[in-house]
């Protein structure tokens, strides 16, 4: 009798525990089958800008690697801060990623209070591409190179404006560093992205612009704008005849930006690992490399740890420039 009662109690415990055991199985199965639906890719600049241009070169191959479409979600404004904040707050399920321009993680944190931390609020997935900007002018501006520009600016301090993709963008820092090293003075005109800034340059509303090479290249080739110099340490492959700013007298001048893929903090290990592997494989494709180079950037594949280290290094670098120029981005 007692043995029979004990046996019934044991069977009852197993019966009660069975549903709990079953609840764990779908979560493990779901983890193994990630991704099961389209993945949102958040960008901090509008369509047609540098970030969009580079990200589009990854899209087809990355979608093939992951087996799901990438849905581009443009959230421009505040030099990428709005998009970065949105991505940092997203659920860490692998279905919201951020294609980020380095300024949102290395420049803005040095100059304004943010709702996110550039390191702890994100899961690094990998570096994508890097490169400099190009200093371009409207054809009506009576200069053709950097020495002539410096001479003109010194003759009329503060009379000329330069446009950029926004406050705290790499174009902004490029312009500030240019003024500091050349001992000139210009007025900064920030836009909500490189595309609207380029429209105003072509239309003559702003005389000078620090622009992404990819977005500027077709207008340089058509003669609608003219290139004065590139901000990188070496000449750009897509603009081999355009000298660097450093070559033209400002020795040591260099401003280089990069793009990377990150997710919200605490991204599942499986998703983060698969994303990193898919990104590496995508960047290894020669067609993707060629397409990125046409945008004016160099493919820069890197591990999650290398991305983490790059963020730390650039945070320190831009901190000095912002402090020396007494810049605020409010």
Report pLDDT digits (tens) over 213-223. 988 999 999 99
Both tokens assigned to 23: 């609840």
Q: Which residue has the tokens 């058509």?
A: 222
- Identify whether residues 244 and 158 lie together within a single domain: yes
* Whether residues 199 and 62 fall in one domain: no
Average pLDDT over residues 264-271: 96
The predicted pLDDT at position 18 comes to 40
CATH number of 95's domain: 3.40.190.150
Q: Are residues 99 and 150 in the same domain?
A: no
Q: Say if residue 205's pLDDT is above 80.
A: yes
Distance of CA 35 to the CA centre of its chain: 23
With both helix axes pointing from N to C terminus, report the angle between 213-222 and 194-203 in degrees, rounded to the nearest 10: 20
Secondary structure string (H, E, C) spanning 75-110: CCCHHHHHHHHHHHHCCCCCCEEEEEECHHHHCHHH
In a domain, 16, yes or no: no
Mean pLDDT score across all residues of the chain: 89
Q: Which domain holds residue 195?
A: 132-248
Mean pLDDT of 26-48: 78
Check residue 321 and give its pLDDT: 85
124 plus 266 within the same structural domain: yes
Token look-up 């280089």 returns 256
Q: How confident is the model at residue 11 (pLDDT cuts 50, 70, 90)?
A: very low
Same domain? 150 vs 240: yes
Most confident of 29-38, 47-56, 88-97: 88-97
Give me the number of domains the chain comprises. 2
Question: How many CB atoms are located within 10 Å of the residue 16 CB?
Answer: 9
Q: Of 214, 248, 282, which residue constitutes the final position of a domain?
A: 248
d(CA 164, CA 79): 10
Residue 211 has pLDDT above 70, yes or no: yes
Is the residue at 91 inside a domain?
yes
Q: State whether 263 and 242 are in the same domain.
A: no
In a shared domain, residues 269 and 120: yes
Chosen domain end from 220, 248, 276: 248
Whether residues 199 and 145 share a domain: the answer is: yes
Which residue, 248, 269, 294, sits at the end of a domain?
248
**285 lies in some domain:** yes
- Residue 108 covered by a domain: yes
Q: Please indicate whether residue 4 or residue 113 has the higher confidence score (pLDDT).
A: 113
| Residue 252, pLDDT score | 92
Structural domain contains residue 12: no
Q: Note whether residue 18 is domain-resident.
A: no
CB–CB of 211/171 below 8 Å? yes
- pLDDT exceeds 50 at position 79: yes
Does residue 22 form part of some domain?
no
Q: Does 279 lie in the same domain as 235?
A: no
Is-contact 170 243, C-beta < 8 A?
Answer: no
Residues 156 and 184 in one domain: yes
pLDDT in the model for residue 20: 37
Residues 155 and 244 in one domain: yes
> Are residues 122 and 178 both part of a single domain?
no
> Exposure of 302 by Cβ count < 10 A (0-12 exposed, 13-18 middle, 19+ buried)?
buried
For residue 189, name the pLDDT band (cuts at 50, 70, 90): very high
CATH of the domain at 244: 3.40.190.10
Closest CA to 275 of 100, 57, 67, 53: 67
Look at residue 32 in the predicted model and tell me its pLDDT.
57
Residue 139 inside a domain? The answer is yes
């Amino acid at each position: 009798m007692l043995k029979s009662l004990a046996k019934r109690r044991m069977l009852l415990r197993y019966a009660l525990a069975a549903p709990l055991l079953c609840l764990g199985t779908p979560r493990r199965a779901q983890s193994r089958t990630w991704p099961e639906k389209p993945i949102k890719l958040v960008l901090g600049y509008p369509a047609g800008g540098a970030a969009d241009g580079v990200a589009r070169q990854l899209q087809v191959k990355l979608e093939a690697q992951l087996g799901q479409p990438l849905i581009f979600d443009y959230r421009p404004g505040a030099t990428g801060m709005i998009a970065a904040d949105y991505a940092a707050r997203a659920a860490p399920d692998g279905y919201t990623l951020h294609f980020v321009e380095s300024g949102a993680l290395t420049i803005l944190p040095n100059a304004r209070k943010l709702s996110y931390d550039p390191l702890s609020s994100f899961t690094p997935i990998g570096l994508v591409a890097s490169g400099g900007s190009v200093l371009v002018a409207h054809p009506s501006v009576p200069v053709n190179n950097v020495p002539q520009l410096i001479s003109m600016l010194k003759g009329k301090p503060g009379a000329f404006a330069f446009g950029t993709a926004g406050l705290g963008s790499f174009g902004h820092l490029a312009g500030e560093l240019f003024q500091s090293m050349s001992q000139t003075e210009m007025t900064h005109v920030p836009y909500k992205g490189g595309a609207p800034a380029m429209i105003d340059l072509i239309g003559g509303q702003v005389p000078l612009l620090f622009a992404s090479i990819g977005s500027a290249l077709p207008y340089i080739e058509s003669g609608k704008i003219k290139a004065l110099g590139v901000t990188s340490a070496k000449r750009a492959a897509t603009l081999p005849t355009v000298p660097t700013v450093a070559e033209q007298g400002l020795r040591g001048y260099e401003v280089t930006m990069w793009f990377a893929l990150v997710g919200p903090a605490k991204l599942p290990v499986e998703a983060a690992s698969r994303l990193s592997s898919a990104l590496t494989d995508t960047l290894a494709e020669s067609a993707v490399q060629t397409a990125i180079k046409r945008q004016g950037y160099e493919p820069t594949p890197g591990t999650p740890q290398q991305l983490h280290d790059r963020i730390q290094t650039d945070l320190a670098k831009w901190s000095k420039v912002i402090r020396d120029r007494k810049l605020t981005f409010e």
